C-alpha cells in the first residue's frame, strides 16, 4: 500500500471511494494508527449523503466516480460497526445512526419485490467488481446489492440495541422480504446453488444463513477443485472468511496462497510492491481493496479474536486456525486495551503451542 487509506489510489483518481474505504477499514484499523482518519472520513461520508434521497455517493468527499448502492453506500453502516468492534467506541454509531436509517430507506426505494435493482439515474449500479473475466460473468449486481442491504438492516438492528434505541418498526419485515426474494430469484432448489454457483455466491448466501446443506457442500467442493480464485473485491474476503468459519481453514489458506492467474502470488511474481486493481494487472497497480484479506492474518492465522458481543479487545480469545502447511506464525496488533502479541509453533504431536502477551486488563477467554 502506498498513499492514504481510505483512497482508491495515489496516482490516478485519488478519490475517497466508499467501496475501497469500507472494504479495507478493518485491516487498516488492525495494522495502522487510523482512528482519527476514520473519524474524519466518516464525517465526510455523512456530509456527502444526499439531503433529499439518503443516497451515499461513491466517493466522500463527493467528487464523482462510479460504483453501486450496496458495496459502496454500505460504508455508512460497515465503517461505524467496525469502528465500534475494534476501538470499543460508539461515537460513529451515535453520529451515523440517522444516516444509516436514511440510507436503508433509500435502498428500499430502489428495490422491487425485495431486490435492489437500481441506483441514481444514469448511475452504474455495480455489484461485484474486478473478478476474473467479463463483468457479465460476475455474480448479478442485484444479488450483491441486496446482500449489502440485508446486512445493513441487520446492522441497524444491532446498532439500535447498542445505542439503546428503538429499531424502526419496518426492520424485521424488510429483512424477511429481501431474504425470501433472494431465495425466489437466485436459489436453485434442484442443486442447492445460488446464482448457479457463480463466484462466491454460495458464500454470500451462507453468511445470510440462506440455502441448505448442499449450498455449503457445493461451495466447498467447488473451491477444493479450484486452482485459482474466481472472485472480485467483495467476493474474495467473503469467500475466504466464510471458508474459515466453515472449518475449512486449510482450503482458505490454499486459495489465499494460490499461484494461479487470479492470485496474490501472481502479483508478487510480476514484481508488484502494492496491490493491483484487477487480477490480470491490466489496470491500476496500486489499489487497496483486495487488501481487505490482511485482517485474516491476525484473526485467523494468529487467531486473535474477540469474544462474541465484546469490543475494543477487552475480552480476547486465541484460536489459531489449523493449517497443516504452516509450522509457525507470529505477530501482534495494537488495540485500545494494549498490544496483543501471539506466536504459535507446531509440535511433533501436530498440536499448536501458543505463547502470548496480552494487555494487563484484557481477559483471555
Q: Please tell me the predicted confidence (pLDDT) of residue 363.
A: 78
- 274, 293 in Cβ contact below 8 A? no
How would DSSP label each residue in 298-323?
A: IIIIS-EEEPTT--TTSEEEE-----
Task: Give just the sign of the alpha carbon dihedral 316, 21, 93, 150.
Answer: negative
> What averages of pLDDT result for each successive group of 10 residues across the chain (365 residues)?
71 90 97 96 98 96 93 98 98 98 98 96 90 87 98 98 97 98 98 97 98 98 96 98 98 96 96 94 93 97 95 95 97 95 96 94 76
Q: Please tell me the predicted confidence (pLDDT) of residue 365.
A: 67
Q: Please tell me the predicted confidence (pLDDT) of residue 134.
A: 82
Q: Please tell me the predicted confidence (pLDDT) of residue 51.
A: 95
Amino acid at each position: 500500500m502506498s498513499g492514504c487509506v481510505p483512497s482508491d489510489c495515489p496516482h490516478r483518481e485519488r478519490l475517497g471511494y466508499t467501496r475501497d474505504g469500507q472494504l479495507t477499514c478493518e485491516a487498516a484499523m488492525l495494522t495502522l494508527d487510523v482512528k482519527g482518519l476514520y473519524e474524519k472520513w466518516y464525517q465526510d461520508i455523512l456530509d456527502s449523503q444526499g439531503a433529499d434521497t439518503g443516497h451515499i455517493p461513491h466517493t466522500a468527499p463527493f467528487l464523482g466516480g462510479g460504483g453501486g448502492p450496496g458495496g459502496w453506500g454500505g460504508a455508512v453502516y460497515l465503517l461505524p460497526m467496525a469502528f465500534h468492534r475494534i476501538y470499543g467506541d460508539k461515537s460513529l454509531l451515535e453520529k451515523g445512526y440517522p444516516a444509516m436509517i436514511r440510507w436503508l430507506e433509500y435502498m428500499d426505494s430502489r428495490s422491487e419485490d425485495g431486490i435492489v435493482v437500481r441506483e441514481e439515474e444514469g448511475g452504474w449500479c455495480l455489484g461485484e467488481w474486478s473478478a476474473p473475466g467479463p463483468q457479465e460473468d460476475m455474480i448479478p449486481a442485484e444479488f450483491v446489492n441486496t446482500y449489502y442491504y440485508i446486512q445493513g438492516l441487520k446492522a441497524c438492528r444491532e446498532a439500535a440495541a447498542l445505542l439503546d434505541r428503538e429499531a424502526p418498526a419496518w426492520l424485521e419485515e424488510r429483512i424477511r422480504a429481501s431474504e425470501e426474494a433472494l431465495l425466489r430469484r437466485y436459489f436453485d432448489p434442484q442443486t442447492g446453488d445460488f446464482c448457479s454457483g457463480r463466484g462466491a455466491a454460495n458464500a454470500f448466501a451462507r453468511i445470510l444463513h440462506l440455502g441448505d446443506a448442499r449450498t455449503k457442500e457445493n461451495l466447498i467442493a467447488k473451491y477444493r477443485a479450484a486452482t485459482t480464485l474466481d472472485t472480485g473485491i467483495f467476493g474474495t474476503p467473503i469467500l475466504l472468511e466464510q471458508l474459515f468459519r466453515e472449518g475449512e481453514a486449510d482450503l482458505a489458506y490454499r486459495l489465499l496462497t494460490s499461484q494461479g492467474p487470479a492470485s496474490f502470488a501472481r502479483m508478487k511474481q510480476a514484481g508488484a510492491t502494492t496491490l493491483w486493481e484487477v487480477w490480470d494487472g491490466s489496470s491500476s497497480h496500486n489499489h487497496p481493496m483486495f487488501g481487505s484479506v490482511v485482517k485474516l492474518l491476525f484473526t485467523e492465522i494468529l487467531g486473535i479474536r474477540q469474544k462474541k458481543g465484546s469490543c475494543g479487545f477487552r475480552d480476547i480469545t486465541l484460536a489459531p486456525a489449523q493449517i497443516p502447511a504452516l509450522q509457525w506464525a507470529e505477530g501482534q496488533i495494537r488495540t485500545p486495551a494494549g498490544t496483543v502479541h501471539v506466536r504459535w509453533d507446531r509440535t511433533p504431536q501436530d498440536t499448536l503451542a501458543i505463547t502470548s502477551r496480552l494487555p494487563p486488563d484484557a481477559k483471555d477467554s
